[in-house]
Structure 1
Amino acid sequence: MKAIFVCTHGNAAKELIQSAEMICGKQENTSFVPFEVNESAENLQGKIVAELAKLDVTEGVLFLTDLKGGTPFNVLVRLLENFTEVELLAGVNIPLLLEAFLSREMLTLKDLASQVAETGRLGIYEYAMPVEEIEEDF
């Protein structure tokens, strides 16, 4: 089973995983690390490496983070060379994470990353209030 690893600013990673698990059940081979206020990139990298050592990455790992160019993203980019099968996506949200959980055993890692990214985009929806028709008196 492909590993899924989430790293975000603050506690968002933990909360996103817990919210997704409320919908699709407890997930194995999944972990996270929060990036804390005033934490150095080097310290974050050490925490990530330690947490990744607990996962089975033989089928690959899908890294998910919140913000392209942020410290969690930049640290994960530096770690990519340590893996033979790895994908990194920024912009994690619950629909994206659910898709990753539900599809990770059926797709190649590359296809999983593409499918998950598309689902994340489609998970953004702007609701438009229905316009009431105004009756005019003539």
Structure 2
Amino acid sequence: MIPILVCTHGESAPKLVESAEMITGKQEECQSVEFKMGESLDVLKSDIIKHVEKFSDTDNILCLVDLKGGTPFNVLVQLTKQYPNMDIVTGVNIPMLMQTFIQRLLNVSKEELIRMAMDAGHKGIYRFESKIVNDADEDF
């Protein structure tokens, strides 16, 4: 099973995981790391390594982060030197997490899992537009 690490600014990482697990069920091989306000890069890096080392397979990790260029992203990019097969995808949202949780149980390749996660993340963005209905147009 491909290990998943979710790392974001503030408390959103564990909350996103918790929300996705409400729908998909409790996940194994999934860790979340918060980057707290005022926290140093060294503390974040140490916290990420501590969570990564909990995985049974540290060679095949998929990291989902909030922002490209943000501190969690930048620290994880640095850690690819230590974990060269670690992949990082930005823009984490609940549809992306749900798809990742479901598809990794089917033993898809990591490349396919990344593609499906990104696709679900994009499709999860939707604008509902309410249409005003005239009384004459109502179908009851």
Which residue pairs with 2:109 in the alignment? 108
Please give the secondary structure, in 1, of the residue aligned with 2:89: strand
Per-residue CA deviations over 1:93-126 (Å, capped at 9, x if unaligned) read 0000001100113311111111101110000000
Task: Give 1:117's aligned amino acid.
Answer: M
Structure 2, unmatched stretches of 5+, are none
In the superposition, the TM-score normalised over structure 1's length comes to 0.92
Contact 1:2/1:58, CA 8 A, preserved across alignment: no
Q: Let me know the Cα RMSD of the aligned residues.
A: 1.4
Which residue pairs with 1:132 in the alignment? 133
In the superposition, the TM-score normalised over structure 2's length comes to 0.90
Which residue pairs with 2:86 in the alignment? 86
Contact 1:85/1:109, CA 8 A, preserved across alignment: no
Q: Separation in 2 of the partners of 1:81 and 1:133?
A: 62
Per-residue CA deviations over 1:17-49 (Å, capped at 9, x if unaligned) read 000110010000000110001011111001100
Moved beyond 2 Å, runs of 4+: 81-86
Task: Give 1:69's aligned amino acid.
Answer: G
Please give the secondary structure, in 2, of the residue aligned with 1:117: helix
Q: Separation in 2 of the partners of 1:82 and 1:99?
A: 27
Structure 1, unmatched stretches of 5+, are none
For structure 1, which segment, 112-121 or 125-134, has the greater mean C-alpha deviation from structure 2 after superposition?
125-134
1:84 Cα deviation after fit: 4.4
Describe how 1:1-138 pairs up with structure 2 within 5 A.
1-57=1-57, 60-105=60-105, 106-133=107-134, 135=136
1:85 Cα deviation after fit: 2.9
Please give the secondary structure, in 1, of the residue aligned with 2:80: helix
Contact 1:2/1:56, CA 8 A, preserved across alignment: no
Contact 1:63/1:89, CA 8 A, preserved across alignment: yes
Please give the secondary structure, in 2, of the residue aligned with 1:81: coil
Contact 2:58/2:83, CA 8 A, preserved across alignment: no
Please give the secondary structure, in 1, of the residue aligned with 2:28: coil
Q: Separation in 2 of the partners of 1:133 and 1:82?
A: 63
Distance 1:43 1:57, change over 3 A: same
